[in-house]
Amino acid sequence: MGKESKFEGTVIEFIGYSIIAAIIVTFSLGIAYPWAEVMMQKWICRNTIIDGRRLYFDGTGTQLFGSYIKWWILTIITLGIYGFWLFNKMTHWRTKHTHFMD
């Protein structure tokens, strides 16, 4: 049987990180969204343990930025239709950069 899985983050931490992310995105007019996304994902992974193994996230805002711009352009060109694919694209990117600490 597997070891314990749990999330150790607190509501106060979540609120703090969410406020910081919102400020970053708002003051950059959305351009810094990739860096806010990475900040949140790192917090989530840092506080997640699956089968006794902690996760870590190695993605960077710079890595996500190119895809982010491309996805925005495709969404605009297709009059929003490409937006339906964005959830899967972001989930794929997050998963690709999430690992177990060993």
Summary mean pLDDT of the chain: 96
Burial class from Cβ neighbours inside 10 Å (0-12, 13-18, 19+) for residue 91 reads: exposed
Q: Considering the entire predicted model, what is its pTM?
A: 0.89
Per-residue pLDDT, averaged over 17-25, amounts to 97
Distance, in Å, from the CA atom of 22 to the CA atom of 97, rounded to the nearest integer, reads 22
Q: Is the pLDDT of residue 9 over 70?
A: yes
Per-residue pLDDT, averaged over 31-44, amounts to 98
Q: Is the pLDDT of residue 1 over 70?
A: no
Q: Are 41 and 57 in contact (CB under 8 A)?
A: yes
Per-residue pLDDT, averaged over 47-53, amounts to 96
Q: What tens digit of pLDDT does each residue of 56-98 get? A: 999 999 999 999 999 999 999 999 999 999 999 999 999 999 9
Nearest C-alpha neighbor of 33 from the set 82, 79, 81, 66: 66
